[in-house]
Structure 1
Amino acid sequence: MARVVTGSRWTAIVGYSLVGAATQLVWLNFAGVTTDAAAHYSVSESAIGWLAQVFPLLYVVLAIPCGLLLDRWFRPALLIGAWLTFAGAAVRLIGDDYSWLLAGQIVASIAQPLVLNAVTGITGRYLSPDDRPKGIAVGTASIFAGMILAFLLSAVFGSSLRPMLAASAAFCATAALVLATTLRTAGNFTPATNRLTAHNTAGPANLDPTRLGPGERGPLRIAWADPLIRRLSVLAIFPFGVFVALSTFAQALLEPAGVSSTTASTILLLNVVAGVLGSAIIPVVIARHRAESTHLALSLTFTALACFTLAIAPGVLTGFVAITLIGLLLLPALPIVLELVERRTGEAEGTAAGLIWMAGNLGGLLVAVVVGLLVDHPTAAFLVMAVIALIAVPGARSLKQPIAELQPPSPQ
């Protein structure tokens, strides 16, 4: 019979999941109505694209400061992120012109790292150790679910942009209220003072956090001094980069092969749906069997093969199969990496998670720029993404031993 776990407060995870979805809803509100939005606000499609691009740009800048805030004042910082997300959504309704849209997106983009960096912190404070892999999987899956919600609202409202923005603001307000209600009291658990292992001997002694005095152990120093956190941060660049580039340019890259924009949108929607399902299920199974390194290596390998297939045989069928497979296998890499971060760090988990998100967003920007330059050469673009995924496979496989040295995610 399974051991009964007490003390976990899943209501906090529900509130967090709603706010996580809200951040992505605001981010991608215009992804499915770019042309209509450009016409409505009398700006170029590139200007509408910048409404989304400000999010990864500011994330790279704010990831670490927001992580430090979460490590110091977790609940207030997370709630500020929730209410700023709503504020950004509401600002877009003040006036029916582009300047208010951009102002609202900037406000919401400041909130995003306060929310997304908190996925490991909220599980560490409100869930028992046994439940944390599930909590991180659910919290991360909800982030991807917010992308689906953005696509669905675009489909429902179409060119009726003001009602779509009003519905988005209402969702953000509801999410912030639910989170505020569930976080009225502190969680039942406290992050460990420091869970970095004594195996950190690679590098000078003064960079080993296990040898620092209490007054010297700042969260950033603790996180960055750990070799495993650094390696996970570098690794995150590659899957994030491929996913962001593919999501951004799949329609343009598949169009020469006869894939319509409607079909491409359906393919990308299935990609995210598969990613939500995969992120909710796969990380829990992987954590139970301690197969993180194996899954990361296999998912990157299959992603490379899928991109290679699209390079040599692009089309509707290969697009559906390859891109859905990428979503199912690659997106769960994020909750898997974040669960490792939660197990590795204690009071620095917000900063460590910030490093992962910062690296991922930086990878997304870099790979998207490269693929964007090749958008008129689909074969070369898909091959570049295949190579980027393959480059990361040895790094994923090399994590097997460091991960094996970590404390198991739940008692055996």
Structure 2
Amino acid sequence: MTQGATKNHHHTATKPSAIRWTVMAAYAAALTTSTMTFLTYATVTSGVRVDFGVSEASVGNLALLSPLFLVLLGAVSGRFLDRRFDTTLAVGAAMIAVGPLLRLVDPSSYGWALAGQVLITAGTPFVANAITKYPARYFSAQERPTVIALLSAAFYLGVLLAAVTGQPLYECGGITLLVGVHAAVGTAAGVALLIMVTVVRVPVAVVDPEPAVARGHLRRTRELWMLAGVMFVLFGLFNAFITWIETVQDHLGNAGFGGPLVIALTLGGVTGAITIPGLAARRDARRTALIVISVVQVFGFLAFAATGNQVILLVLAVVVGFFMMAALPIAFEWSEIHAGIANAASATAFLTIVGNLGGVVFVLAPQMFLDTPRVIFVLLAALSIPGVLAALRLPPTPTPHLIAA
């Protein structure tokens, strides 16, 4: 459990091992590189479509596989991580390690790119949904908010690396260099995690002696649904921003400025994900933090609609990202407290599924307004309001283990 009003129901099994930090670093690297590799083609779509001989939409669909598999395999991955943690995480690590290598068979082949992408994105849920289970098993209650925050930041770092490496690598050596470098990094991180899980076995430091929460009941709790509502909006805003910001800026006369804004949003987000969750946990102010984060999104996107000044837009992107991406680790840590260690991965998977559904909705909604770009920002601000309402309906502090089996 964490500090504040929540009680500590967990028992220490063994003295925490120092090696757990090394395993955490390997896990964080795998989160970063799996995100980077599934976004390999996202920043160079117009160029690689020529290499592949397909349409831009077909190239774009390669990135859409990730949210698709996170939805389709979310519940299954959560269940297996809760029941067979080490084995399931090892399978996921192997998949994200082998996937980038498949694309190297023929970097200019869309078929091999698709095969590798399927393996990477199908393996991602079995890795990403351990983001609360791993800290819950190996770290104390006081350490957990920090660890979850660092792991969440690792995900956003992957987005940032994809954004800053894609175009330069492609310009230097074409699709072969781009795919090769991403394969080397992605495979190395996947293999490192696989070794850590299968060879370097970290003793479980914290066990949960209470009966496991009934998973079916867990998904019916209002508390988890309110967290899911916040995630639906914030995942949606992030996906919509990185999908449409280039198009919007082109219409506003800032051609090519979408990339810098994505980088600014992500840099702010990594900083926020590292700093805000720990502060909120120490002060037992998670609900307050989620309310503030949600309100900032509403006014932040209205501010985006009001200006075309590049300096102001960059500052707005940093501020909005700083708050936006801090919500993920806060919600994940809250769900672990609510579900308990036994079902931490299932709770995380549920939030991830709903969040990715939000990503789809928020990406589709602006399509009818592409010719009036400022309206897109107003629309996204309006769609953010339910996130505020969901945060307001959360209890003052996380409620642990209310739903016994």
For the criterion TM > 0.5, the same-fold answer is yes
**Are 1:187 and 2:206 counterparts?**
no
State whether residues 88 and 108 of structure 1, in contact with CA within 8 Å, keep that contact through their aligned partners in structure 2. yes
Q: SS at the partner of 2:104?
A: coil
> Equivalent residue for 2:41?
30
Pair 1:148–1:298, CA change in 2 (3 A): same
> Equivalent residue for 2:102?
91
Q: Aligned-residue CA RMSD in angstroms? A: 1.9
State whether residues 75 and 349 of structure 2, in contact with CA within 8 Å, keep that contact through their aligned partners in structure 1. yes
> Equivalent residue for 1:357?
352
- The AA in structure 2 aligned to 1:121 is K
* 1:147-204 Cα shifts (integer Å, max 9, x gaps): 112123213312421122111111122212322333331433244254xxxxxxxxxx
> Equivalent residue for 2:170?
158
Gaps of 5+ in 1: 195-213, 408-412
- The AA in structure 2 aligned to 1:290 is D
**Are 1:173 and 2:187 counterparts?**
yes
TM-score (norm 2): 0.89
Aligned length: 380
State whether residues 286 and 397 of structure 2, in contact with CA within 8 Å, keep that contact through their aligned partners in structure 1. no
State whether residues 236 and 359 of structure 2, in contact with CA within 8 Å, keep that contact through their aligned partners in structure 1. yes
- The AA in structure 1 aligned to 2:201 is T
Q: Name the CA distance, whole Å, in 2 between partners of 1:342 and 1:180.
A: 24
Correspondent of 2:59 among 38, 43, 48: 48
* 1:90-146 Cα shifts (integer Å, max 9, x gaps): 111112311111111111111111111000011111212211111100111001111
**Are 1:241 and 2:233 counterparts?**
no
* 1:330-385 Cα shifts (integer Å, max 9, x gaps): 11100000011122222111111000100110000011001233222212211111
Q: Name the CA distance, whole Å, in 1 between partners of 2:74 and 2:348.
A: 9
Report matched runs for 1:10-409 at 5 Å.
10-95=21-106, 96-159=108-171, 160-183=174-197, 184-194=200-210, 220-261=215-256, 263-345=257-339, 346-403=341-398, 405-406=399-400
Gaps of 5+ in 2: 1-13
State whether residues 70 and 350 of structure 1, in contact with CA within 8 Å, keep that contact through their aligned partners in structure 2. yes
Q: Name the CA distance, whole Å, in 2 between partners of 1:169 and 1:260.
A: 31
* 1:293-327 Cα shifts (integer Å, max 9, x gaps): 11111111111111112223234233212222111
State whether residues 252 and 373 of structure 2, in contact with CA within 8 Å, keep that contact through their aligned partners in structure 1. no
**Higher mean C-alpha deviation, range 219-228 or range 139-148:** 219-228
Q: Name the CA distance, whole Å, in 2 between partners of 1:193 and 1:236.
A: 29
**Are 1:7 and 2:21 counterparts?**
no
* 1:35-86 Cα shifts (integer Å, max 9, x gaps): 1111211111111100101111121111101111101111111111111012
- The AA in structure 2 aligned to 1:192 is D
- The AA in structure 1 aligned to 2:186 is C
> Equivalent residue for 1:207?
none
State whether residues 344 and 406 of structure 1, in contact with CA within 8 Å, keep that contact through their aligned partners in structure 2. yes
Q: Name the CA distance, whole Å, in 2 between partners of 1:191 and 1:252.
A: 49
Q: SS at the partner of 1:33?
A: helix
Q: Name the CA distance, whole Å, in 2 between partners of 1:180 and 1:103.
A: 21
Q: Name the CA distance, whole Å, in 2 between partners of 1:70 and 1:53.
A: 24
> Equivalent residue for 2:11?
none
- The AA in structure 1 aligned to 2:50 is A
Q: Name the CA distance, whole Å, in 2 between partners of 1:163 and 1:190.
A: 44
TM-superposed CA distance for 1:19, in Å, is 0.7
State whether residues 83 and 176 of structure 1, in contact with CA within 8 Å, keep that contact through their aligned partners in structure 2. yes
* 1:246-268 Cα shifts (integer Å, max 9, x gaps): 1110111122222121x220111
Q: Name the CA distance, whole Å, in 1 between partners of 2:315 and 2:82.
A: 41
- The AA in structure 2 aligned to 1:322 is L
TM-superposed CA distance for 1:406, in Å, is 4.8
**Higher mean C-alpha deviation, range 270-279 or range 356-365:** 270-279
Q: Name the CA distance, whole Å, in 2 between partners of 1:356 and 1:191.
A: 23
State whether residues 265 and 321 of structure 2, in contact with CA within 8 Å, keep that contact through their aligned partners in structure 1. yes
**Higher mean C-alpha deviation, range 222-231 or range 330-339:** 222-231
